[in-house]
Amino acid sequence: MSLTLTLAGSVASGLTYFSWVGAAAIARSLSEGDVEMSWSQDALPQARLHCADLSLDDIASEVKRLATEWAPGWTAVTVQYSGGEFSPFSPRFKAIDPIRHPEDWSLHQQARLTQLDKLAEKGDHLALNLIQALGEAAYWRFDRGAPRPDHGASRWEMKTRNRGEEFVRHRLHPMCVDISEWSLTDIAMGLTGELQQDTIGNVKEGSRTSSGFQPPSPADTALSFVALIGISSFPVLHRLSKVSVTPGAYPDHVLHPTAAVLPVPVLPITPERFENIVISKYWADLVSELGPETSILNSPADHEHFKELGIPAAAFYRIRLAGSASAPERYFEEGKVVVLS
């Protein structure tokens, strides 16, 4: 038994890209056998995942199991802060005032640690990796005397926060509840693109089910859920005096990045190698070089390092900043392949 899965869409879609990474993370959580990630060499490359000892039903079953366990678990936990009720796992929510309400941070950390201990006892490494990669409200960051909790969040957590909404409580949790009721066939067909069920966004033209990985438009809920799991392979690096670093985001020091630069391997690589690449200094340097965008990226000898690994190109996505100052919205525009030469 083996599986070669082609994910829905192409490299033009950030949703496809992150669902490819998420599917690989799920496959690795199920198997210690060969799990390999690659892109086809078509004009618009397609995302492929090869698993030596798994089937598509295995992947779909794990998606359903994760949704079913997470729905009443860590995604459902909330804390009543002085400023309102939020999930302690959402990396962006209303700022806590540590002077007026010092008890809020104690409640916050207690809730997080209790759930993290439970996940560790269960061995749910996917949840732990996702929580770590999402980042957290930055209790350590102040700018001109004001708290900056958003500075500790992954730039790939892009849900709008209008009407007081936040990511885990109002996006990830509802997805889990919804997908826990899906059939394995519908989940599998959503991943391959044979079926699109936007059960969260009701197939509306301005649906936000993709959570920023594509412009507002209908998206399959199961595919989007797997894409959110893909964030787990982009762990943030916290910094005391700047915004936390999100691998692949350009620039790395601003609240709203203007581009995403991600590797396109045409030779199979493992999920472990993929993560090692995106968190490396070599890739960070390339992101900084490519951020302003060119159609073909020339020069540094370091590019030879990537080509030797079977990565001749990068996927480049401009990131649109829309919405208002009080409720900004980021989303990936249509992407393209940039050749490293």
Distance of CA 262 to the CA centre of its chain: 12
Place of tokens 């500790």: 152
Tokens of 268: 């199979």
Name residue 6's beta-bridge partners. Answer: 48
Name residue 296's beta-bridge partners. Answer: 339
- Closest alpha carbon to 87 in 217, 199, 174: 174
pLDDT attached to residue 326: 78
Burial label, 320 (beta-carbon count in 10 A; 0-12, 13-18, 19+) = middle
Q: Please write the tens of the pLDDT for every residue from 211-232.
A: 999 999 999 999 999 999 999 9
pLDDT attached to residue 40: 97
Confidence tier at 143 by pLDDT (50, 70, 90): confident
Q: What is the CA radius of gyration of the chain?
A: 19
Confidence tier at 327 by pLDDT (50, 70, 90): confident
**Mean pLDDT computed over 288-306:** 70
Place of tokens 């916290």: 238
Task: Could you list the beta-strand ranges (E) of the chain.
Answer: 3-6, 35-39, 47-51, 79-81, 84-86, 142-143, 146-147, 249-250, 259-264, 296-297, 313-323, 328-332, 336-340
Dihedral pair phi/psi, residue 138, rounded to 5°: -80, 90
Cα–Cα distances (Å) from 12 to 140, 210, 281, in that order, read 37, 14, 25
Q: Please write the tens of the pLDDT for every residue from 62-84.
A: 999 999 999 999 999 999 998 88
Q: Please write the tens of the pLDDT for every residue from 158-167.
A: 998 877 789 9
pLDDT attached to residue 265: 98
- Tell me the C-alpha distance between 306 and 293, whole Å: 18
Confidence tier at 48 by pLDDT (50, 70, 90): very high
- Tell me the C-alpha distance between 154 and 134, whole Å: 5
Q: Over pLDDT 70: what percentage of the chain?
A: 97
- Tell me the C-alpha distance between 23 and 41, whole Å: 20
Average pLDDT, the chain: 93
Collapsing DSSP to helix, strand or coil, 25 comes out as: helix
pLDDT attached to residue 182: 98
- Tell me the C-alpha distance between 315 and 67, whole Å: 29
pLDDT attached to residue 102: 84
Confidence tier at 323 by pLDDT (50, 70, 90): confident
